[in-house]
Amino acid sequence: MRIGVLTSGGDAPGMNGCVRSVVKGAVGQGHTAIGIRRGYEGLLAGDASELSLDAVDGLSRYGGTRLGSARCKAMMTPAGLQRALDRIGEMALDALIVIGGNGSLTGAHALAPHTPARIVGVPASIDNDVGHSALAIGVDTAVNTIVDAADRISDTATAHHRVFVIEVMGRHCGFLAMRSGVAADADAILVPERKLTREQVIERCVAVLRASFRAGRHKERVLIVKAEGVEVPTAELVAELRGVVDAEMTGVDVRETVLGHIVRGGAPSALDRLIAARLGLAAVDAACRGLTDVMVGWEPPRGAGEPTRDPSVRTVRLAEVLVETERMLSADSELARARLALLDMADGLLAL
Ligand code: F6P
């Protein structure tokens, strides 16, 4: 078989390890691995070449993606889709493994019914917003990066008696903020899934500040972790809090740090390398077993999909993945509710 592999959308730490594992799995079983550069952009341009075992040797420890990535708008048009299908034919691919997030898996699902090539998705996005995978490749590293940054900020916040609002990536999903906020001893965690109004967000933060700096307390820093998907812009929130602090709390200052793309880069954690390696192998296996229009999911909640020979990996129909993703993002799924319930419990640790 000729097995194509591409990385698409926002890069995620662990993508390189996943490509390595796809190549190892493919070549190890006597197949040819074809690396497609810059995601679907490269597919449309036919920018691809064979990947040898040596080309991917020792690749797992690097962040980003050596194959390159892109957000390809053309794939959302009928002409782009047709071009992609033509290229798959011209390259004589028997399978295409798409490593990426939401948008990339939507592209994979659009291709699958129109090509004899087997299309297999692998969830990779720091946002952890892909349905039917407890973790996507890159999430664990991103959480560790945020916790590391929050710890550093806590040092300086404590020294100067400051309130810090730290904004973290995650697009419409609050998972990164939830997980890292709890691990970093945050005093408040703001996520879009809670669907608070602007006034409620401000009220909540003000209550945290008043509780933290009331007479008799000796609290030295306040940390608010805010997901970028929360609609109130961070600068506006900070301006509101500064007004309250200036009026009511002497010797306290409010600052903001937007971590931005720092959260997306860096060497993958051991867990991300492991997940990437195992999902890559499972993706090759799925293609070899003739499966198409599926994703390999890491420990899908409630055991969705079909088992593979890896006990932590299951194959789930891409159609189901995309439906579950939508529900998760509108905080309408069991999983989203379970995540929020955990956050409610974690509130017991926050702001006391
Ligand atoms: O999807 C990953 C992600 O890093 C999001 O958290 C963020 O909103 C977005 O990508 C940023 O994308 P770009 O780098 O294209 O601006």
Nearest residue to 7 via CA among 129, 18, 28:
18
Residue nearest to atom 3 of ligand 1 (CA): 10
Across-strand partners of 258? 167
Atom index in ligand 1 nearest the CA of residue 228 equals 8
Of 99, 167, 168, 169, the residue with max ligand 1 atoms within 8 A of its CB, to mutate for a pocket test, comes to 169
| CA–CA dist 311, 11 (Å, integer) | 27
171 lines ligand 1 (CB under 6 A): yes
Q: Record the tokens describing residue 229, joined without a space.
A: 């998907």
Tell me the CA–centroid distance for residue 132 and ligand 1, in Å. 21
Of 141, 264, 325, 329, the residue with max ligand 1 atoms within 8 A of its CB, to mutate for a pocket test, comes to 264
264 lines ligand 1 (CB under 6 A): yes
125 lines ligand 1 (CB under 6 A): yes
**Domains recognised in the chain with CATH numbers:** 2-138+268-329 (3.40.50.450), 141-264 (3.40.50.460)
pLDDT at 349 (0 to 100): 64
Element containing residue 297 per DSSP (H, E): strand 294-298
CA distances from 222 to 1, 182, 225 (A): 56, 13, 10
For residue 234, pLDDT beyond 70: yes
127 lines ligand 1 (CB under 6 A): yes
Residue nearest to atom 10 of ligand 1 (CA): 10
Residue nearest to atom 12 of ligand 1 (CA): 10
| CA–CA dist 55, 259 (Å, integer) | 33
pLDDT in tens, 236-262: 999 999 999 999 999 999 999 999 999
| CA–CA dist 74, 84 (Å, integer) | 10
pLDDT in tens, 121-151: 999 999 999 999 999 999 999 999 999 999 9
Q: Record the tokens describing residue 187, joined without a space.
A: 């005093």
Tell me the CA–centroid distance for residue 229 and ligand 1, in Å. 11
Atom index in ligand 1 nearest the CA of residue 261 equals 4
Instruction: Measure the N-to-C terminal CA separation of the chain; round to a whole number of Å.
Output: 59
SS3 295: strand
Average pLDDT, integer, range 86-95: 98
pLDDT in tens, 295-345: 999 999 888 999 999 999 999 999 999 999 999 888 888 888 888 887 877
101 lines ligand 1 (CB under 6 A): yes
Instruction: Tell me whether residue 2 is exposed, middle or buried, using C-beta atoms within 10 angstroms of its C-beta: 0 to 12, 13 to 18, 19 or more.
Output: middle
Of 102, 127, 130, the residue with max ligand 1 atoms within 8 A of its CB, to mutate for a pocket test, comes to 127
Q: Which residues contact 222 (CB under 8 A, 6 or more apart)?
A: 157, 162, 163, 164, 187, 188, 208, 209, 212, 213
**What DSSP assignment string belongs to 152-193?**
HHHHHHHHHTEEEEEEE--TT--HHHHHHHHHTT-SEEE-GG
Confidence of residue 350 (pLDDT cuts 50, 70, 90): low
Other CB atoms closer than 10 Å to residue 91's CB: what's the count?
17
Mean residue pLDDT of the chain comes to: 95
For residue 351, pLDDT beyond 70: no
Residue nearest to atom 15 of ligand 1 (CA): 10
pLDDT at 301 (0 to 100): 87
Name the active-site residue from 11, 47, 57, 127: 127
**What DSSP assignment string belongs to 216-265?**
T-----EEEEEETTSSS-HHHHHHHHHHHHHHH-TT-EEEEEE-GGGGG-
Atom index in ligand 1 nearest the CA of residue 169 equals 6
Tell me the CA–centroid distance for residue 64 and ligand 1, in Å. 13
**Active site (annotated) includes residue 57:** no
SS3 277: helix
Percent of the chain with pLDDT over 70: 99
Tell me the CA–centroid distance for residue 271 and ligand 1, in Å. 22
Evaluated on CA atoms 63, 22, 44, 82, the torsion sign reads negative
Contact between residue 120 and residue 3 where contact means Cβ atoms under 8 Å apart: no
Average pLDDT, integer, range 61-89: 97
pLDDT in tens, 174-233: 999 999 999 999 999 999 998 999 999 999 999 999 999 998 888 999 999 999 999 999
Strands 313-317 and 188-190 come out as: unpaired
Percent of the chain with pLDDT over 90: 89
Element containing residue 120 per DSSP (H, E): strand 118-123
pTM, entire model = 0.96
Average pLDDT, integer, range 41-58: 98
Tell me the CA–centroid distance for residue 137 and ligand 1, in Å. 15
